Amino acid sequence: MNVITTFEDRRRKKQWNFERQVLRKLSLSKIRGYIHMHFPSVFENQKMGSGFAEDACIDLAIDAYLLGAEFSRFGYYGETEVIVRRRCQEEYNDHINHLYDQLSGWLFEYEQDGHFFALCESFILFWWEKGFQEGEKRYRMKLN
């Protein structure tokens, strides 16, 4: 007897496999190091609750990395990074806003600090670009 699978199940399984393969190139120690380098004032002043902030940063770094890797196939087919980022602008902005809201809500009393928002934006951009480059490399090597 044959097993009946739907297109949606097959697509989801293929996406999970791709994400697993891409995440093998990412290490938590690199993410943690970059977090402490990118947000030095946040983690040197805050001992209480910095574990929550670090976990939130790690989660969003991984999400941005996977988002970049997912959309890297458009880069493989000739689109520039900027155009591809516009394709996923809504999710990309959600990651930035989520990181800003979590860090500013947990750690400090910044009301509307534009500098800190730009810091969060550059953090998400860095991990999105890393994922984009890794995914594009996998597509070029035909590993997907």
From first to last of its 144 residues, the chain has per-residue pLDDT tens of 677 778 898 899 989 999 999 999 899 999 999 998 988 777 766 555 567 788 889 999 999 999 999 999 998 888 899 999 999 999 999 999 999 988 887 666 555 567 888 899 999 999 999 999 999 998 888 776
- Give the number of other CB atoms < 10 A from CB of residue 96: 20
* Whole-prediction pTM: 0.86
Q: Phi first, then psi: give them for residue 122, nearest 5 degrees.
A: -70, -30
pLDDT at residue 24, rounded to an integer: 92
Q: Does some domain include residue 36?
A: no
Q: Does some domain include residue 64?
A: yes
Q: Does some domain include residue 19?
A: no
Q: What angle do CA 80, 81, 86 make, to 5 degrees?
A: 100
- Give the number of other CB atoms < 10 A from CB of residue 134: 20
Q: Does some domain include residue 78?
A: yes
Q: Does some domain include residue 13?
A: no
Q: Does some domain include residue 131?
A: yes
Q: Does some domain include residue 18?
A: no
Quick one: CA dihedral 36, 54, 59, 29, positive or negative?
Answer: positive
pLDDT at residue 27, rounded to an integer: 92
Give the span between the Cα atoms of 121 and 115, in whole angstroms: 10
Residue 93: domain span: 50-143
Q: How many domains does the chain have?
A: 1
Q: Does some domain include residue 33?
A: no
Among 35, 91, 30, 87, smallest CA distance to 64 is for: 91
